A and B are shown apart, each in its own frame.
Chain A
């Protein structure tokens, strides 16, 4: 069942994605940052991946390009998941926003932005979500010092 859907997606996106493999029952697509929307648009329609699960990033400190940006989608029609990955460098960690397709991407892109410093082109509201105004740096990057503190209330003594 899911294999049939995956095969049709792979066929449809053959020239667009760099790599398409099935891992742990999920179709994983690797795509260039510039061609992200060419992948997401057909995934939503006609393939029916109508639920945006998450967007997050992976920091590979010694790799170039340094970051993976990872999206997860779910289809409530086929009951399968698709993972889309792209690689962006530290110098320009920018990808397109998916807010026009999935409204719920708005919050998750905010979180990814504050934690990893990924910029989402087209998302006009990238204020801190879990962190606070004035927080410097991106705490889930590997080079953020583990014991660094940025208190809002001055310490006693």
Chain B
């Protein structure tokens, strides 16, 4: 008759870990992005692809789109923005709370792309500040993921105001 094996002794591997406070906070922040998809055009197809199962931005903590700008901190401008739509984009950006980041997804949001005409805004950075540009028409999902990771690196290095001498 076999006996139940004894409960393994704590290995000690994850009992504690050493880190710095700002690195710890940065690590926590970079995996809690709440994107707001400002989706206007065909890049939406690629956005759906990158956010659903196969490429799965959930792995990077950027899974849950919030459809109100007040609850989100990452504005993803996906597609062409026209002059007529620019006031809406500006209002959405202003409704978001600090800290906030902006990704220009695709070449139209970046520079207007091939829409150099009376109707299209030649790049959203004409009206709002942009942190990250992802070129492509549309960008490959791998490029989007690469872009999100680069933004995460930046967020992890940022210093949150919570980290002060009292923290």
A contact residues vs B (CB 8 Å cutoff): 130-132, 139, 144, 146-156
CB distance from A83 to the nearest CB of B (A): 27
Nearest CB of A to B5, in Å: 66
Collect the chain B residues with CB atoms within 8 Å of residue A130's CB: 84, 119
Residue among A146, A147, A148, A149 with max Cβ neighbours from chain B (10 Å)? A149
CB of A131, distance to nearest CB on chain B (Å): 7
- What CA separation (Å) do A154 and B83 show in the bound complex? 10
A156-B117 contact in complex given A131-B84, A132-B84, A150-B83, C-beta closer than 8 Å: no
In the bound complex, CA of A146 to CA of B115 (Å): 11
Where chain A touches its partner, the secondary structure class is loop
Q: How many cross-chain pairs have Cβ atoms below 8 Å apart between A and B? A: 40
In the assembled complex, the CB of B76 is this many whole angstroms from the nearest CB of chain A, namely 19
Q: How large, as a class, is the contact surface on chain B?
A: 10 to 19
A-binding residues in B (CB < 8 A): 83-84, 86-87, 90, 116-119, 121-122, 125-129
A146-B121 contact in complex given A132-B84, A155-B127, C-beta closer than 8 Å = no
Q: Could you write out 7 A-B pairs with CB less than 8 Å apart?
A: A132-B83, A144-B118, A147-B116, A150-B83, A150-B118, A155-B126, A156-B127
| Interface majority SS (helix, strand, loop, mixed), chain B | loop
Partner of B119, one of A139, A147, A153, A154: A139
Q: In the assembled complex, which residues on chain B have CB atoms less than 8 Å from the CB atom of A144? A: 118
Q: Distance (Å) between the CB of A144 and the closest chain B CB?
A: 7
Contact B119 A156 (CB under 8 A): no
Distance from B120 Cβ to chain A, minimum over Cβ atoms (Å):
9
Contacts A155-B126, A156-B129 hold; do A146 and B116 have CB atoms under 8 A apart? yes
Complex: A81 Cα to B84 Cα, angstroms: 35
* A151 lies within 8 A of B119 (CB): no
Which residues from chain A contact B127 at a C-beta distance below 8 Å? 151, 153-156
Contacts of B121 in A (CB 8 A): 151
Q: Find B86's partner among A131, A139, A152 (CB 8 Å cutoff).
A: A152
User: Which residue of the partner chain A has the closest CB to B91?
Assistant: A153
Tell me if B84 and A139 are in contact (CB < 8 A).
no
Are A151 and B126 in contact (CB-based, < 8 A)? Answer: yes
A156 contacts which chain B residues (CB < 8 A)?
125-129
